[in-house]
């Protein structure tokens, strides 16, 4: 069965790589859009994001993408994948830009890594966290199918998520602190890393997303 995907576009960043990766792993139609009707018609929804959270939240609300995302999650019950700032936007609040209220769909906050940031041996770590890092799978989930525990994914971020409900934690990453790398709840899977930039492991995760029925 051909699966259609809507990648929600609120004007923050080039989403071509996400769309291309989805097509590469077998998606049927992939539309990059904020058009309400196109998003409602899609079998799967991707909520990506890059850039400063204040600007992202402003555009998300201006274009009513928050309402479209809520409809996909709670009314249409289609599988939703949030990526990077898309994950952060789901939380209650971010420390970035002197504090920004986010969507509040997942209780929790977005925290600065800190400066200076050091690892367990006292070695200085660069912020932003940029590059490949191992993700520890904290629970079984259909999107982890075929991906070994401690597989490396590609990250680019200066702020990290901490969800209040620790039962939602699907994956974690160590970078001076233990950060939430993946959260899962019902038909939502949200990741801090970029699957579209994470080589074969990322493509496997995206393929799993296309095959996922939204249950876990």
Active site residue 84: yes
Cα 21 off chain centre by: 15
Angle of CA points 156, 165, 99, to nearest 5°: 50
User: Which residue bears the tokens 């009513």?
Assistant: 64
Active site residue 96: no
- The residues that bridge with 5 in the sheet, in sequence order, are 30, 44
- The residues that bridge with 45 in the sheet, in sequence order, are 6, 80
Please give the span between the terminal C-alpha atoms of the chain, in angstroms, as a whole number.
Answer: 21
Exactly one of 34, 129, 157, 194 is catalytic; name it: 194
Burial environment of residue 161 by CB neighbours within 10 A (0 to 12, 13 to 18, 19 or more): buried
Exactly one of 56, 84, 96, 102 is catalytic; name it: 84
- The residues that bridge with 210 in the sheet, in sequence order, are none
Active site residue 196: yes
Exactly one of 56, 65, 102, 196 is catalytic; name it: 196
Q: List phi, psi (to 5°) of 153.
A: -125, 165
The region that residue 62 occupies, defined by phi over 0 for left and psi between -120 and 50 for alpha, beta otherwise, is alpha
Active-site amino acid positions: 84, 194, 196
């Amino acid at each position: 069965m051909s699966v259609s995907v809507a990648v929600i576009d609120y004007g923050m960043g080039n989403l071509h790589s996400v769309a291309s990766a989805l097509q590469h792993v077998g998606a049927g139609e992939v539309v990059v859009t904020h058009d309400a009707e196109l998003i409602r018609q899609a079998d799967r929804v991707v909520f990506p994001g890059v850039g400063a959270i204040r600007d992202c939240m402003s555009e998300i609300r201006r274009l009513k993408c928050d309402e479209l995302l809520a409809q996909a999650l709670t009314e249409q019950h289609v599988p939703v994948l949030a990526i990077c700032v898309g994950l952060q936007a789901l939380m209650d609040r971010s420390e970035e830009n002197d504090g920004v209220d986010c969507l509040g769909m997942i209780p929790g906050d977005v925290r600065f890594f800190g400066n200076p940031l050091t690892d367990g041996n006292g070695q200085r770590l660069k912020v932003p966290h940029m590059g490949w890092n191992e993700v520890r799978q904290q629970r079984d989930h259909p999107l982890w199918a075929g991906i070994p525990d401690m597989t490396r994914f590609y990250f680019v971020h200066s702020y990290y998520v901490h969800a209040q409900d620790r039962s939602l934690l699907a994956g974690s990453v160590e970078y001076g602190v233990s950060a939430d790398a993946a959260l899962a709840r019902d038909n939502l899977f949200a990741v801090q890393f970029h699957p579209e930039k994470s080589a074969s492991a990322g493509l496997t995760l995206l393929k799993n997303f296309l095959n996922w029925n939204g249950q876990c």
